[in-house]
Amino acid sequence: MRPNAIETEALRKVYAASGTEPPKEALGGVDLTIPAGSIYGLLGPNGAGKSTLINILAGLVTKTSGSVRIWGFDQDVNPRQSRAAIGVMPQELNMDPFFTPRAALDVQAGLYGVPRAQRRTDEILELIGLEDKAEAYARNLSGGMRRRLLLGKALVHQPNVLVLDEPTAGVDIELRQMLWANVRKLNERGMTIILTTHYLEEAEQMCDEIAIINHGRVVAQDSTANLLGELDTKTLVIHPDGAAPRDIRLPDGVTMEERAGGALAFTYRRSEVAANTVLAALSEAGITIRDVASEDPDLEDVFLALTSERGAAREGAA
C-alpha cells in the first residue's frame, strides 16, 4: 500500500524572542495529509506560515513540536530517508553564477550522494529545456532559464515529492506553460507535486486538492471541487433588451451590480433564493431579457472567504 506523500500532526513552530520582538508562533498545530500522486495546492496570504511549513519539510527549519512524515518516513526517526524523498524548487534564484547548468546539476546530485553512474543530468537538461545551454555559465542565463535550472536541481535525486514554491512568479506566459507541461509529465510518472502560488486561477486549474493556511493554521483542506462548492453564492448575469430601470424591486437577499455593456449581475444564496424568483422580479419590473448566463464562485472567492476575519472566526469557533 502506497503511503501518503506528506503527513503532519500538531506541527508547531515558535520563533524565539529577538530583541524587543516577542516570540512568534508561525505554525499553530498544523494537521495535513497530502495523498501520494496528487498535485496539491498550499495556499495562504503572505505571512500565513507556508514558507515555514515548506522549510520544515525540507529539513531547513527545526520544528518546535509535532510530527512530520514524508513518504512514510518519520522526520525524527529517519531524517536522511525523509529528506531524500523530497525535492524543493525555491522561490529565490539562488545559484552559483560561475557554474554551468550541467555542473550545477552534477554538484547537486553529488550533495545528495547520487553515484555518477546513476545521475540523469542529460535527461533533466532536456526536460527543463536547457540542453542547448548546458555549458553556459549560470550568470549568462535569463531569469526564466535560471528558474528552470532550479527545477532541475530539485529533481537530481529523483524525489517522490516535489515542492514548487511560487514557481511562476514573474515569468512570462510561454515559460509558465512549459513549466506546467513538465509538472504534469512528472505527475503522470507518479511524482507528488506540492504547489504554492499567488495565482489562484493556476491552482484551480492544476490542483487535485488544496489546503488554505491562515495565521499558522489550516482553515480548509479538501478537493478543489469541494472547496469551490463550499460557497453558497450564485450570480445571474442579465443582458437586458434596452435600458433597464434603476428601481428594480429585488427579493430579500439579492444584490445587483451594473457591469460593462449594460449587463446586470444579480448575486444571491442558492439555499435561500431560487433563480426563478430573480427572473420573476425582473419580469415584474418590465425587463425584457436578451441573454442570461450564470456564474459560480471561483477559488479566489473561497480563498477570500476563508482568510477573512469572518472565516477565521468561524474556524476558531469550530
Instruction: Write the secondary structure of the chain as one string of H (helix), E (strand) and C (coil).
Output: CCCCCEEEEEEEEEECCECCECCEEEEEEEEEEECCCCEEEEECCCCCCHHHHHHHHCCCCCCCEEEEEECCEECCCCHHHHHHCEEEECCCCCCCCCCCHHHHHHHHHHHCCCCHHHCCHHHHHHHCCCHHHCCCCHHHCCHHHHHHHHHHHHHCCCCCEEEEECCCCCCCHHHHHHHHHHHHHHHHCCCEEEEECCCHHHHHHHCCEEEEEECCEEEEEEEHHHHHCCCCEEEEEEEECCCCCCCCCCCCCCEEEECHHHCEEEEEECCCCCHHHHHHHHHHCCCCEEEEEEECCCHHHHHHHHHCHHHHHHHHHC
- pLDDT score at 315: 46
- pLDDT score at 307: 74
- pLDDT score at 102: 95
Please state, in angstroms and rounded to a whole number, the distance separating the CA atoms of residues 134 and 57: 30
Domains and CATH numbers, the chain: 6-228 (3.40.50.300), 233-296 (3.30.70)
Reported as a single tens digit per residue, the pLDDT across 19-76 is 888 999 999 999 999 999 999 999 988 888 999 999 999 999 999 999 999 999 999 9
Reported as a single tens digit per residue, the pLDDT across 23-39 is 999 999 999 999 999 99
- pLDDT score at 312: 47
Strand pairing of 192-196 and 39-43? parallel
- pLDDT score at 1: 55
- pLDDT score at 80: 93
Positions in the chain short of pLDDT 50: 310-315, 317-318
- pLDDT score at 106: 95
Note the pTM of the prediction, 2 decimals. 0.78
Closest CA to 149 of 185, 197, 99: 99
- pLDDT score at 74: 96
